Chains A and B, each alone.
Chain A
Amino acid sequence: MTAQPFTTEEVARIRADFPILARTVRDGAPLVYLDSGATSHKPVAVLDAERDFYERLNSAPHRGAHALSEEATAAYEGARERIAAFIGAQAQDVVFTKNATEALNLAAYAFSNSPHPGIPGSERFALGEGDEVLVTEMEHHANLVPWQELCRRTGATLRWVPVTDEGRLDLSGLDELLTERTRVVAFVHASNVLGTVNPAAEIVARAREVGALVVLDACQSVPHLGVDVTELDVDLLAFSGHKMFGPSGIGVLWGRRELLEAMPPFLTGGSMIETVRMEGSTYAPPPQRFEAGVPMTAQAIGLAAAVDYIDGIGGVDRIHAHELALTERLLAGLAARPWVTVVGPSDLESRGGTVAFVVDGVHAHDVGQVLDGSGVAVRVGHHCAWPLHRRFKVAATTRASFAAYNTVDEVDALLEALDRVPQIFGMAG
């Protein structure tokens, strides 16, 4: 059976789990939070899980032999198992980072000019002139700038897949872009601006033909579409906890095991080592090799609680169905306003619950300010995807992004507040 959107009663119960949704803003307006693509709110279960760690278990995992440390280690590793299961992975292939940006940098900084002498197989991470890295024009800066930097360091060349007017990847020239020279293909699963869900399977299949490594930015897909790493068949995959009801300060890099084993470390220091001598060091196996320093223990436990929460309310499939229903209503409302232009797919085909738009003649900052005056929180600007905005020849867009706790009434509140924009700025509206 196809997953159904949440009923009004179910959304009301979900909302009750998020204390912040009860607050008002700007002189008493009820908060209408449509910015979950930037960061989601946290249910009580997640807040409790973090607090419980500090109250009962607080200590540094993987260090010392005292009782607290043992229990903290068990809780931390238990969280890893829970989060791995959520994406169809094995715990030992899940690396905790502080966020997806760090996860993607970890991937990019694993590469260098030459193989790591102490890590067998690391020649897969050696790049140089003549090699190419392929990204797309719709990447978040976090999945673009690290690859630009990698190319600068190694002499490799960055290439990118363009975006169509409809906000989809233009794969018509992929044969020229994805060649034997391509060593890495890094792309976003679901755009944080357009809402577009990219055809991962097709791109992965083409990358496999030329032997390129595939890195997937899954920040918007793990929380809103659901992800199974074995089904996706990518090599590395990154996402953030704070966008999926989890705490800030925790992200994940998942990697194919043989690849993680051959991957040089990025951040080095304590607890990622095997032996250390003044002359040099050897490194622990994954995932410890990539987790230098005392880890984000409470945050990992909080993220595991977030994953439990998602499954508890019906799972990502229902969240996706719910968000698509809201998206459909918003797209219809925007289509009825000729002074609004949606940037991104105007239908629900291969789409997530993120809608970016421009109001003719009014800058997104001004649109956002008017909405904020009615308590409606949206994101304005380039959403860390500046090249994508340049591609659409707009300086900034207004973006609404949904989560499980959003309601139909909130979509209507956004549209109603939006109607004040032409009134204030004196356009024909």
Chain B
Amino acid sequence: MDLYQELILEHSKRPQHAGLRDPFEAEVHHVNPTCGDEVTMRVHVEDTPEGPVVRDVSYDALGCSISMASTSILAEETIGHPLAEALQTYEAMKAMLTSKGEDPGDEEVIGDGVALAGVARYPARVKCALLGWMAFTDALHQSGRETTAPETEEGTS
């Protein structure tokens, strides 16, 4: 069925960057109480002259293919990226997933995340796809980082 794009199945079977690693500044545990999906996530953000950079997102997850794939894509799309960019990816993912199918997602911003566009048409599954992202922003918050995306140039004009 259309929901289960090949990319989703691949990510859920072989989650990228899975496992819990050091170093990290914050570790969080998030659950989806309706279905019991769980994720433990650590983030490691380093300050550089160009601003903070996400050095690592490591996780131990148990869940459906949608939540597993979404968390795998999160790690892929944020590790090695400037924090500001990672937060924009988060905002774009959230916008797509909560758009009820209106927003197909921008591959330039969210990469493989576009494979999850179909989830937006199944309200019961949106939480599955957001689980890892909620953990990510919570971990950032707990490590004292800004968790709202800076406005893009378009946004400020």
Contacts and interface: CB of A to CB of B under 8 A. Distances in A.
Interface stretch (A5-13, A325-333, A366-374): A366-374
A366 B35 contact: no
A366 B36 contact: no
Chain A interface: which size bin?
10 to 19
Interface string A53-71: 0000000000000000000
Interface string B1-44: 10110000100000000000000000000000011111000000
B62 to A, nearest CB: 5
B73 interface: no
A376 to B, nearest CB: 13
Contacts, number: 51
A396 B65 contact: no
B38 A365 contact: no
A369 B128 CA distance: 12
Contact of A396 (B4, B9, B35): B35
Interface string A359-391: 000111110011001000000111000100100
Nearest to A424: B4
A203 to B, nearest CB: 28
B82 interface: no
B62 A395 contact: yes
A426 B35 contact: no
Contacts of B62: 395
B38 A395 contact: yes
A396 B36 contact: yes
Interface in A150-195: none
A381 B1 contact: no
Given A370-B1, A389-B36, A395-B35, A365 B9 contact: no
Interface in B96-131: 122, 125, 128
B5 to A, nearest CB: 11
Interface string B61-77: 01111100000000000
A35 to B, nearest CB: 13
Contacts of A426: 9
A366 B64 contact: yes
B36 A382 contact: yes
A370 B66 CA distance: 13
Given A366-B64, A426-B9, A395 B37 contact: yes
Nearest to A426: B9
B36 A386 contact: yes
Given A373-B1, A425-B9, A426-B9, A366 B66 contact: yes
A28 to B, nearest CB: 15
B91 to A, nearest CB: 25
Nearest to B34: A381
A364 B1 contact: no
Contacts of B66: 365-366
A365 B1 contact: no
Residue among A363, A381, A425 with the highest chain B CB neighbour number at 10 A = A363
Given A382-B35, A389-B36, A365 B64 contact: yes
Nearest to A425: B9
Residue among B4, B9, B35, B128 with the highest chain A CB neighbour number at 10 A = B35
B74 to A, nearest CB: 18
Contacts of B38: 395
Contacts of B9: 424-426
Contacts of A382: 35-36
Contacts of B65: 362-363, 366, 425
Contact of B36 (A370, A381, A424, A425): A381
Nearest to A372: B122
A248 B34 CA distance: 20
A363 B63 CA distance: 7
A363 B1 contact: no
A381 B1 CA distance: 21
A166 B63 CA distance: 25
A369 B36 contact: no
Contacts of A362: 65
A380 B4 contact: no
Contacts of A365: 35, 37, 63-64, 66, 125, 128
A370 B1 CA distance: 7
A426 B10 CA distance: 11
A380 B62 CA distance: 15
A363 to B, nearest CB: 4
Nearest to B65: A366
Contacts of B125: 365, 369
B52 to A, nearest CB: 34
Contact of B64 (A364, A386, A389): A364
A381 B127 CA distance: 13
B122 A380 contact: no
Given A365-B128, A425-B65, A381 B35 contact: yes
B101 to A, nearest CB: 14
Residue among B34, B36, B128 with the highest chain A CB neighbour number at 10 A = B36
Interface in A297-348: none
- Across the A-B interface, give the 6 residue pairs with the lowest CB-CB distance, nearest first: A363-B64, A365-B64, A381-B35, A395-B36, A373-B1, A382-B36
11 contacts: A363-B63, A364-B35, A366-B66, A369-B122, A381-B34, A386-B36, A395-B38, A395-B62, A395-B63, A396-B37, A424-B4
